[in-house]
Each structure stands twice: as C-alpha cells, then as structure tokens.
Amino acid sequence: MTLNSTFLSLFALISLLSSLSATSSFPSYSSLAGLSERELDEVVAWLPQVLPPSPPPPLKFNGTKLVNDRDHPWKPIRKGDIRGPCPGLNTLASHGYLPRDGVATPSQIIEAVQEGFNMASATARFATYAAHLVDGNLVTDLLSIGGKTRRTGVDPPPPAIVGGLNTHSVFEGDSSMTRGDDFFGDNHSFNQTLFDQFVEYSNKYGGGFYNLATATELRHRRIQESIATNPQFDFTSPRFFTAFAESTFPYTFFVDGRISDRATAGLDMTNATLFFRDSKYPLDFWRPPAPTGGTGALQIFSAYPVAAGRNVDGVNTFTPDPTSADFSNICLLYTNFVNKTVKGLYPNPTGVLRRNLIINLGYFYNAFPGGVGECPEQFPYGTL
C-alpha cells in the first residue's frame, strides 16, 4: 500500500464513520453530478479533497502469467460489497486486484486491469477516466464499480445522489449481452435468461465458444431485441462504441493467454459462466500474452452496420441521430463526451471540483486513441 492510498483509506474510514452519525450522509464515492450549487457547497465542504494523481505507467513485465494466483484468491462478496455491470471489474474485485468492497480510485482500476487482464495502457486510461468523469466522485477521487448500495441514513434523500457504474446512459447502456436494459428495471445484475441466449449463440455460431463469429451475431441480435422491445432504447455515443468494444472483451480477455488465435478459438461456456456470473477466474488462468484493447469492434459493426440512434416514439421507432459520434467520426466521441456529457453533468463547477474536473479531463484526453492533434483538446472549464 502506498502512502497515498493509506492516506485515502484513512479519509474514507473517517468519512464512513462520520456518515454513520450524520443525518445528511453522503458516500465518499457517490457522484456529485446533478447537485445544486447549495448542495455542492454543503457536501464538498466535508468530503476529503484529493488531488488526482497521475495515472500509473504501463506494465514493466507485459507478457502472459498466472493471475489466479496465491496472492489473489477468490472470495465471496460480503454484506455491503459492491459489484456492477462489468464482469471484468467484478472479477478483479472478487480476487483482490481491486478493493474487495468495490470502491476504488481511477489509479487502482488502471493498475488492476493491466495487471489482472493485460489491458493496454491507453484503453485502460480511456475507459477509466471516462467512467470516473461521469460516475465517480471527482472530489474524493473514488469510483464505485456498481451502485450506491451503501448509502445510509439519508433522510430525505437528496434529489440527485447517483453514481457508480450502474448509472444509466452515461457509461452503462442498453443492449448489453448479459444485463438487461435500464428500462426493464435491473440494468446491472447478471441475467440468466440473457446468458442462456449467450450460450445459444455460442453453440450456434462458435461451435460452443464465444468467438468473433459469435460476437458478431449476438451484438446484432441484442440491438434488434432492444429496438423491438425497449421504447426508450438509446444507442448513441458513447454507448454506441462501448457496446461494440465490450463485445470483443470476452474472447480478448477471458481466454487463457497460452492459447493462440484467441479471437477464433474463443471462450468456452464453463469459463464464461465463471466470469460473467461468479466474478471468478478459472483455475490456472493466465492473462493475455500482450497488452491489448480488444480487436474486432469494427469488424463486428461492419457485418451489420447500424447508425447511432434511438427509439424516438416507442418500440420499433429507431431513428439515426446525426449529432452522435459513430465509426466515421471518432473525434466527435471525445468532443461530445466532454462538451455535452460532462459539461451537462457539471454546468458550473467551482473550487476543488472544477480543479479536479480539469485534471481528469486532461488525463482522459491523453488516453484518447485518436491521438493528440487529430482531435483538438476541449477546455470547457478553462485551464488551471
């Protein structure tokens, strides 16, 4: 444990203790988005104010190795532990690569996805800062990998206490493979019916394995299902991109690193069940042989091209949204995310909140795969 994280947990402990007695408690990992200026003043005043550290570097040793090791045993979740919509992060928390309670700093997440799954540095930073900007607590530098289940004693509930990766439509989105759409209620728990379809498609198109061919058909199927059944289906950026990217993750990250040609070989259903349902590495699991962000998203998209859009007036009214980013305009993914999504959540931040927004937006921009220069950096809150 570094000095920094000791410091952080100390503060987290203090704020947890004080939250037990305070009437207007506020978990130190809840997002501050949507709070009024008065509420912000009140809450920010007693939150630990953390200067966001630079992201951790790429791995020194970046080859394959056993990651389900003695130092990282799987343990069942305890009362109060948080898990969410991402089987990758859930698994890392249940093996102790992330804090087992499911609340982490962006740096801890970046370190964990690199160490535990050999996710490439830029991908790890891109996904983590995107998630943190919209779902994390930008003052305390903490993000929950799920919802807000540890919220206690808030009476009456402040209007917009949200946060964590379950938060709908900023990062979490519709048309997931094994999680239901937000419209149907539970948007983050493992859904056995959907997983049965995952198995059915793996049998039909991948010979019993989830591979690139399975991913292509299942992604198309899930989009068609959402169009036909979810009147509020939203498939605009950023969900448009994360959906295709996440379709590549099971054969990229959940297949043993000693296997070659992994996108074709694919993930078997016993191991898939462990990751998706139980947040558990298979016995003797080795991480991928090289840092990767997952490949094949564009191939999956190209097999059944679909516009970024949404159901505008009930089911089966899917309409393209020309203002959304898509594969023909990736730069807009960055610009809209910063100028619309983040700015919409935090229209007028001041003080430490503004400072930390600026710092995290900088880390996010540096991770952007389009590269500096191709897409000019935006400064919705000025500079420090």
Ligand X SMILES: *[C@@H]1O[C@H](CO)[C@@H](O)[C@H](O)[C@H]1NC(C)=O
114 binds ligand HEM (CB under 6 A): no
Q: Which is nearer to ligand X, 42 or 268 (CB)?
A: 268
**256, interface contact from ligand HEM, ligand X, none, CB < 5-8 Å by kind:** ligand X
Binding mask 252-271 for ligand HEM (x = CB under 6 A): -x------------------
369 binds ligand X (CB under 6 A): no
Binding footprint of ligand X, residue count (CB under 6 A): 26
Please report the DSSP string for 5-38 in residue order. HHHHHHHHHHHHHHHHH-SS---TTSB-TT--HH
Q: Which residues of 246-264 are buried (b: 16+ CB within 10 A; e: fewer)?
A: bbbbbbbbbbbbeeeebbe
Beta carbons of 197 and 220 less than 8 angstroms apart: no
What distance lies between CA 77 and its chain's CA centroid? Answer: 20
From CA 168, how far away is CA 145, in angstroms rounded?
13
Q: Which of 30, 108, 140, 187 contacts ligand X by CB under 6 A? A: 187
From CA 235, how far away is CA 237, in angstroms rounded?
7
185 binds ligand X (CB under 6 A): yes
Which structure tokens are listed for 234? 């939203």
Instruction: Identify residues 272-301 at the interface with ligand X (CB under 6 A).
Output: 282, 284-285, 290-291
- Which residue type occupies 19? S
Beta carbons of 47 and 15 less than 8 angstroms apart: yes
118 binds ligand X (CB under 6 A): no
Closest by CA position to 268, among listed 277, 257, 280, 256: 256
Q: How far is the CB of 14 from ligand X (least distance, A)?
A: 28
The interface region with ligand HEM, picked from 122-130, 299-307, 331-339, 368-376 by CB under 6 A, is 122-130
In the three-class reduction of DSSP (H, G, I as helix; E, B as strand; rest coil), residue 298 is classed as helix
Q: Which residues bind ligand X (CB under 6 A)?
A: 58, 62, 162, 166-168, 180, 182, 185-187, 191, 193-194, 256, 268, 271, 282, 284-285, 290-291, 335, 339, 378, 380
Q: Which residues bind ligand HEM (CB under 6 A)?
A: 85-89, 109, 113, 117, 119, 124, 127-128, 131, 165, 171-173, 176-179, 242, 246, 249-250, 253
